[in-house]
Amino acid sequence: MKWDQRLASRMASLAPSRAVTEILKLAERPDIISFSGGLPDPAVFLTERIRECSDRIMSREMAAALNYGPNPGYTPLREWVASHMKQIEGVDSTVEDVLVTSGGLEALHLVALALLDPGDTVLVGAPTYLAALHVFRAHQTRIVSVPVDHQGLDPEALESILSKLVGQGVHPRLIYVIPSFQNPSGVTLPLSRRERLLEICRKADLPIVEDHAYAALRYRGDDLPALKAIDPDRVIFLHTFSKIFGPGVRLGWICADSGLISNLGLCKLGTDQCPNTFTQRLVLECARDGIIEAQVDRSVALYSRKLRVILGELEKRLPPSVTWTRPEGGFYTWLELPQGFDTPALLERALEDEKVAFVAGPPFFADNSGERFLRLCFSFLAEELIPEGVERLGRVISSTAQGRKPGHSKQA
């Protein structure tokens, strides 16, 4: 069979993601110092306590944990989520407003299934989370980008883009935003921008999909309210256990209007029917045991140290023509290189000549621009390897700027 000729039309738009999977595979090589994949450091996992929770579930409720469960999620976990929404996020919600999902990514896919038709227009940041672009492309939507600067999505730019679109008779269906410690830039929307964003969306009658993935991981500065806490009705709130517990459990949630949640559950009947029954019970047991809170504390302590180290090293080792973001939390910092740089080509040289990996900018932009940008993830790499990794990166950038190849260097 010639499968290439039988692919659905949506597959053509997914091509940019293929390069990313190749890059991530490469970056897993043990001889490479990798700032690429956005993974938690396994040192934060309280493995022994988690094993005890897992043993308790298996001895107490193994039959239920191995069976199908309710479509919107395990009710006691939904209750835990509703109370977390109240206590931590300041959002009043009930179990009916909560759908447990297979990670934050499925949450976004379900929102797209329920709300977007092919050809619909969606708004995203430039740059934004590359897997979100993948989801919107898979749903054959038209993606319109709004500039993101050092304070996140620019509300004034959004307002002028919206008025231009409306002038053309185009009414976007939603805007996708990561207000805190954005992937890939690490930047955070200050309160004034959150309020302005909500005001503009209210005026334009535009729903907001708020991705809260990293918000619990703040290393300095004051906590900010979620958009959902300011305007609960307009915001579809997505969260994940991936950064506050562990991505392997593949669990997240949506908190939204109960009528919408019921439609999202209907969509879920066609993805996995119900979330993972065993890991829902495991996560709840761990939450009740205080493990989630303890892991968040450990993450904040460890990643804030790594952030300090990487920012110090960037200052020391990169040419002055390179700038970067100084995040207050999350996993990433985002570098801007001078005119003329092409980070996909730089990555090839970095891998080959210096054995250092990052993610080049273009996959984070809907139009595949962003050749002068690159993302560094500082959460996963061992702290003691960060200086060497940044030194290698500095060498490859400097030698590329000077138009000559860098020399060979030590192995990781």
Q: What does each C-alpha distance from 370 to 64, 161, 257, 318, 328 come to in angstroms?
A: 48, 19, 36, 19, 23
105 binds ligand PMP (CB under 6 A): yes
Closer Cβ to ligand PMP, 254 or 393, answer by number? 254
Q: What angle do CA 57, 87, 41 make, to 5 degrees?
A: 60
Give me the least distance between CB of 241 and ligand PMP, in Å please: 7
Q: What does each C-alpha distance from 65 to 102, 271, 311 come to in angstroms?
A: 16, 19, 44
Closer Cβ to ligand PMP, 129 or 136, answer by number? 129
Determine the interface stretch with ligand PMP among 100-108, 116-124, 197-205, 288-296 (rule: CB under 6 A). Answer: 100-108
**Residue 230 CB coordination number (10 Å):** 17
Give me the least distance between CB of 324 and ligand PMP, in Å please: 18
Q: In the chain, what is the straight-line distance between the N-terminal and C-terminal CA atoms, in Å?
A: 44
Residue type, 218: R
178 binds ligand PMP (CB under 6 A): yes
Could you tell me where the DSSP H helices lie in 66-190?
Answer: 75-87, 103-115, 130-138, 155-167
73 binds ligand PMP (CB under 6 A): no
Closer Cβ to ligand PMP, 244 or 346, answer by number? 244
Number of residues that bind ligand PMP (CB under 6 A): 13
Closer Cβ to ligand PMP, 180 or 400, answer by number? 180
Closer Cβ to ligand PMP, 145 or 240, answer by number? 240
User: What is the distance between the alpha carbons of residues 33 and 11, in angstroms, rounded to a whole number?
Assistant: 32
103 binds ligand PMP (CB under 6 A): yes
> Between residue 208 and residue 237, which ones bind ligand PMP under the rule CB under 6 A?
211, 213
Beta bridge partners, 102, equal none
Half-sphere exposure of 310 (CA within 13 A, CB side): 30
**Residue 122 CB coordination number (10 Å):** 23
Contact pattern for ligand PMP over residues 7 through 36, marking x by CB under 6 A = ------------------------------
Determine the interface stretch with ligand PMP among 9-17, 102-110, 218-226, 271-279 (rule: CB under 6 A). Answer: 102-110
Give the interface with ligand PMP as residue ranges (CB under 6 A). Answer: 38, 103-105, 129, 178, 183, 211, 213, 240, 242, 247, 252
